Amino acid sequence: MKTGKPPCLPVSRDILWHILLALASFRIPRPVTERVVFPDCSGAPSYYVCPRCGITLEREFTAFCDRCGQRLDWRGCRDARIIVRRTVHRWLLN
């Protein structure tokens, strides 16, 4: 019976660098630049959009996205691009 180290898969430095860069990019704040408005809903609510995952944020001015964990930069949020989304009713599709 042989005892020794398990075989190690060769991994290039380039691959390791890209993995580390991808993991570290969540810690670099990304500016919030989009806001979605739903005019067909009561009160026409609007929500900011996460720059990484593209999903609307449940809370405003949080430090991180509650879904993907991206760190957010809110300094330019007042100049965010406004996107209007209309509601599609199911009865119109039938």
> Is the confidence at residue 4, as pLDDT, over 70?
no
Q: Output the pLDDT for position 9.
A: 64
pLDDT tens figures, 43-90: 888 999 999 999 999 898 999 999 998 999 999 899 999 999 877 666
**Is 10 part of any domain?**
no
**Is 37 part of any domain?**
yes
| pLDDT confidence bin for 1, thresholds 50/70/90 | low
> Is the confidence at residue 7, as pLDDT, over 60?
yes
Q: What share of the chain is helix, strand, coil (3-state, %, to 5)?
A: 20, 20, 60
Q: How many domains does the chain have?
A: 1
Q: Output the pLDDT for position 62.
A: 94
Q: Output the pLDDT for position 75.
A: 94
Instruction: Name residue, tokens 């991994």.
Output: 11
CA distance 41 to 55: 18
Domain of residue 89 covers 29-93
